[in-house]
């Protein structure tokens, strides 16, 4: 028997995807463990299900004996117990777990039920000691947002583990997205031995540190303007015992000349304005380099706007830009998604 294993926070989304794809096996029951939900699926091609689940954080597993899977209420069922039907259908129910901290939507989207939502999350995730609510969008040159305390210990310092690395940071002072975990793993696997990699808008260091840890012979440049994020990146570099990351505090557009033509690979996780930095990307790139560019785009246009800007910049600056790969990373807002475009620069 096959199951799709998924974290509780993503269970509803994955279940809808399985139902839409006619893969959910309604003749078997959903199972639960302390950390995961297991959805029974019909016997199909493993490649097909893996393609469907790509980037979702879910995985395909062989079914465990049912007696070893603990039956318990789902997040959805528990939330229904503390809300009315109208509230449940109207409120925002998504949340993110950053180690010891859970982040929920803005209070005005929670129908006055933020404490109830927080209690449900803390019952499901015993490691969560604090729940905070978003106070607005990401803003400013340092890419920060406000948060308000909802329940648990009054704390804003997250300790988050991912892909064998650990990161500490204040959620109010530095941007961090756990939804990029798959992308960090994907790009880390693409890096070759002894490559020189530049991570622009490096934040507290997740891309740079994960690459450096898996590829100790690589050289990684990590550039960040936000002073708190830069300080935390330095601490995280030490915490993860990586010796091959050079952290630079400053503006991406003012990178020291010694790093011109430095990189075989460039990562740009700045979706709000990544195409505004194509000049800097070009300067940092070697004669040939691969770029991973993240950008928010309209769902209907997908990556066309981004690739158009890349090609226009290439033509203007007399280099070739070949698109290698595009992928929808995560929904952003109604009608908008985050895309990644991998492309190769070849300078003439």
Weakest mean pLDDT among 69-83, 207-221, 317-331: 69-83
pLDDT at 236: 98
pLDDT above 90 covers what percent of the chain?
53
Query: For the chain, which domains are there?
Result: 2-68 (3.30.70.2580), 75-155 (3.30.300.110), 177-347 (3.40.50.150)
Q: What number of other Cβ atoms are within 10 A of residue 83's Cβ?
A: 20
Cβ(18)–Cβ(99) under 8 Å?
A: no
Residues 6+ apart with CB under 8 A from 322: 343, 344, 346
Cβ(40)–Cβ(30) under 8 Å?
A: yes
Cβ(224)–Cβ(247) under 8 Å?
A: yes
The span from the CA of 348 to the CA of 318, in Å, is 7
Residue 140 has pLDDT above 60, yes or no: yes
The span from the CA of 165 to the CA of 241, in Å, is 10
Cβ(164)–Cβ(215) under 8 Å?
A: no
Q: What number of other Cβ atoms are within 10 A of residue 247's Cβ?
A: 19
pLDDT at 31: 82
Weakest mean pLDDT among 40-54, 111-125, 251-265, 300-314: 40-54
Q: What is the enclosing helix (H) or strand (E) of 15?
A: helix 11-20
The span from the CA of 5 to the CA of 244, in Å, is 35
In this prediction the pTM is 0.77
Residue 206 has pLDDT above 60, yes or no: yes
Cβ(184)–Cβ(176) under 8 Å?
A: no
pLDDT at 186: 94
Residue 111 has pLDDT above 70, yes or no: yes
SS3 141: coil
Task: Give mean pLDDT, residues 132-136.
Answer: 87
Cβ(101)–Cβ(125) under 8 Å?
A: no
The span from the CA of 348 to the CA of 340, in Å, is 25
DSSP string, 145-205: --EEEEEES---EEEEEETTEEEEEETTTS---GGGHHHHHHHHHHPPTT-EEEEES-TTS
pLDDT above 70 covers what percent of the chain?
93
Q: What is the CA radius of gyration of the chain?
A: 21
pLDDT at 143: 85
Residues 6+ apart with CB under 8 A from 98: 158, 160, 171, 176, 178
Task: Give mean pLDDT, residues 210-235.
Answer: 97
Cβ(236)–Cβ(167) under 8 Å?
A: yes
Q: Which residues pair with residue 165 across a beta bridge?
A: 162
Weakest mean pLDDT among 161-165, 315-319, 335-339: 335-339
Task: Give mean pLDDT, residues 336-345.
Answer: 93
pLDDT at 301: 66
The span from the CA of 114 to the CA of 77, in Å, is 16
Both tokens assigned to 154? 């009054």
Residue 65 has pLDDT above 50, yes or no: no
């Amino acid at each position: 028997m096959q199951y799709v294993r998924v974290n509780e926070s993503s269970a509803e989304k994955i279940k809808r995807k399985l139902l839409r794809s006619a893969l959910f096996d309604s003749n078997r029951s959903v199972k639960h463990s302390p950390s995961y939900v297991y959805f029974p699926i019909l016997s199909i091609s493993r490649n097909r299900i893996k393609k469907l689940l790509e980037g979702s954080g879910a995985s395909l597993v062989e079914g465990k004996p049912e007696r070893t899977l603990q039956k318990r209420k789902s997040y959805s069922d528990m939330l229904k117990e503390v809300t009315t039907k109208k509230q449940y259908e109207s409120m925002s129910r998504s949340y993110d777990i950053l180690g010891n901290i859970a982040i929920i939507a803005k209070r005005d989207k929670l129908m006055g039920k933020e404490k109830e939502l927080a209690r449900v999350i803390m019952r499901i995730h015993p490691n969560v000691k604090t729940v905070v609510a978003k106070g607005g969008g990401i803003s400013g040159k340092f890419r920060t947002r406000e948060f308000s305390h909802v329940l648990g210990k009054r704390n804003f310092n997250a300790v988050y583990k991912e892909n064998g690395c650990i990161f500490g940071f204040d959620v109010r002072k530095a941007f961090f997205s756990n939804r990029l975990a798959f992308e960090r793993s994907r790009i880390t696997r693409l890096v070759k031995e002894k490559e020189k990699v530049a991570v622009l808008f490096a934040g507290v260091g997740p891309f740079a540190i994960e690459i450096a840890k898996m590829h100790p012979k690589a050289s990684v440049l990590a550039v960040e303007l936000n002073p708190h994020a830069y300080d935390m990146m330095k601490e995280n570099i030490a915490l993860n015992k990586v010796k091959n990351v050079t952290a630079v505090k400053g503006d991406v557009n003012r990178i020291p000349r010694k790093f011109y033509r430095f990189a075989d690979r460039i990562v740009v996780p700045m979706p709000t304005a990544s195409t505004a930095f194509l000049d800097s990307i070009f300067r940092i790139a070697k004669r040939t380099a691969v770029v991973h560019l993240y950008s928010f785009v309209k769902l209907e246009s997908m990556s066309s706007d981004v690739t158009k800007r890349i090609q226009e910049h290439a033509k203007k600056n007399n280099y070739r830009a070949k698109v290698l790969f595009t992928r929808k990373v995560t929904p952003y807002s109604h009608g908008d998604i985050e895309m990644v475009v991998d492309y190769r620069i070849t300078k003439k």
